[in-house]
Chain A
Amino acid sequence: MSDLVQKNRVAPNNQRGPAARRADFDDLHTEPMHIQMGPSHPAMHGTVKIELDLEGEEVIDADVQIGYLHRGFEKECETGFLYQNIPYTDRLNYSSPVLNNVGYCLAVEKLFGITTPPRCQFIRVIGGELSRMADHMLALGASAMELAAFTPMLYLLEARELLLDQIDAICGARVTTNFTRIGGTLDLPEGFAAFAVERLDRALRLTADADKLLTDNPIFRERMQGTGRMAGKDLLAWGVTGPVLRAGGVPYDVRRATPYLIYGDLDFDIPIGEHGDNFDRYLVRMEEIRQSCRIVKQCLERLPDGPVNSDDRRVKWPPKRKVFGQMEELIDQFKLVLEGGYPPAGEVYHAVEGANGEVGFYIVSDGSGRAWKMRCRSPSFSNMSPLKHMLIGGQLADVVPTFGMMNMIGGECDR
């Protein structure tokens, strides 16, 4: 954080607190007002409804109501084969789908006991970090736009588009990526490294421009500093993870805490905040974009050669040429498609660091190709639960930045 940011940490109006603000209006007669914000409201991106009780401009009670995007993800996954569920995970957090794909496949691979080849792990990290950057850019851009800063959003969306170009080059889709397979992934196209580095640099320049426009902007800081504040201890007790928790000063990141893929060998920093307010959440996300960029560049430099798919016959389908020519491969393909492979009976939980926090998949297998129980631990859901306590005592106008910085994604929260 620059010195300028540290100076005047809390904007004057927010520093006075609700009691002092209320004293200004002691002689005014006001009645509590009940308003419904959402589910279809420009600032409630992702459908969610907040029922607010206001006294003047101050929020005295709030009830966050979710479920408008509930699609029965878990029920659907329990009726489909394990390999058929990968596209559903795209639709969980649709602004960073690769991270969900990777998380799901890692959980299934843990159930099977498969380790993927090194090249596959590097490619998964590249895709995941590109996706994380894109998610943060969308979150920051949308929040800035809700605070009437339209230009940074255009910058950030352009930068995001440059990252989606790279994901598009790998898997052929911008948003519904379907990036991984169980035990493998898609290989990088020819000349991807040069293509990626050029676009990453342009995206970083655009992000730096947006950073300059926002971070030292007095209006933006007035809206963000000191609002939606919650201490790190309380955030932990409420089960909050991800950038919101790290902005409260708790350095919990799954990539460091329980490293998966190749994160243990990579060199990157975990930014943490100290005040736990919206401005720190903004700064942590901004810094994570740069750190993710570092990770992608390291991976591109160190990318090993070799196969990208595991050879395990329980999950790898035989090549088509052999299926049409040989009996054993034909039977193999037939059994794998119609019965979904046979994982050992047991239960696993595997967590990855998603863009909003810990994305965990809990799979209970009865030994058949379908999961008996499939559970997604989604960060948005847990992050939204203490939102009520961040809003109470603040002003109505603070609802918008606080909600924006929680970055609730409807598909992930409601599943």
Chain B
Amino acid sequence: MSTEAPPSDAEKPQLSPLMVKVNARLAPLILEHREFRGDDRIHVARENILAVAGVLRDDPELAFDLLLDVTAIDYYGQPDDFELRREVWDRDHVTMRRLPRRRNLMALPEKGPHPRFAVVYHLISTSHLHRLRIKCRVPEDDPRIASLTPVWPGANWLERETWDLYGIRFEGHPDLRRIYLYDEFEGHPLRKDYGKLDEQPIQAYVGPGAKEPRRPE
């Protein structure tokens, strides 16, 4: 909830200059802020991502003009941040890794109470030279989030890639096709429940020179 944001900020007296500026403009929309090894990241509700992105790009003090990366994380049965609640993931983590990696043999951990996916954006400002990471949680049963193509056109291919590999739909994307894999591919391969050795059904060749289908006799 956005109302819980201020306490987490008050706990951290050492805010980076960037986070002071970001908080001044976006405090009501930021769910929480974390810092690890000097990387600032903010968590935002997925309904607010377009508004946040617009402010980050247009504000002259922030001026995030370059969208470096869009990707997703599949926290299958894991909490949001590994550095916080270690005991939650420890047991499942071991179970998941020890078994063979075929999907039909793998005992996946129970789905946790947290939303399964997180969409991650990496930004940099080429004038102020500061970097920021944005995370939005996206639940499994409704994997949708607003597309950032109106703000940064460069999100186009990056979002297509995220759709291809994670199956997260970007609402308002002009051309949401698969980018690496073929259209008939079943599933999304970077999800944790897609095994590394899983096989795909063989597709009949259609196109120039294809053989006629055999007639029933």
Contact = CB atoms under 8 A, between A and B. Distances in A.
B66 interface: yes
B69 A74 contact: no
B37 interface: yes
B192 to A, nearest CB: 9
Nearest to A111: B37
Interface string B138-159: 0000000000000011111110
B36 A348 contact: yes
B181 A70 contact: yes
Interface string A356-390: 00101010111110101101010001101110000
Interface string A276-301: 00000000000000000000000000
Interface stretch (B4-12, B21-29, B81-89): B81-89
Contacts, number: 113
Interface stretch (A22-30, A267-275, A339-347): A339-347
B204 interface: no
Chain A interface, DSSP helix/strand/loop, else mixed = mixed
B73 interface: yes
Contacts of A364: 73, 82
Chain B interface, DSSP helix/strand/loop, else mixed = mixed
A345 B83 contact: yes
Contacts of A40: none
A409 B65 CA distance: 25
B82 A257 contact: no
Nearest to A364: B73
Contact of A375 (B71, B83, B157): B71
Contacts of B181: 67, 70
B173 interface: no
Contacts of B165: 74
A342 to B, nearest CB: 12
A150 interface: no
Interface residues of B, number: 42
Interface string B160-176: 01000100000000000
A385 B82 contact: no
Contact of A346 (B37, B154, B157): B37
Interface string A154-197: 00000000000000000000000000000000000000000000
B114 interface: no
Contact of B157 (A348, A351, A366, A381): A381
Contacts of B1: none
B126 interface: yes
A236 B65 contact: yes
B180 A345 contact: no
A365 B69 contact: no
Given A74-B190, A382-B158, A360 B68 contact: yes
Contacts of A264: none
7 contacts: A111-B37, A239-B155, A345-B83, A362-B71, A384-B157, A385-B158, A414-B180
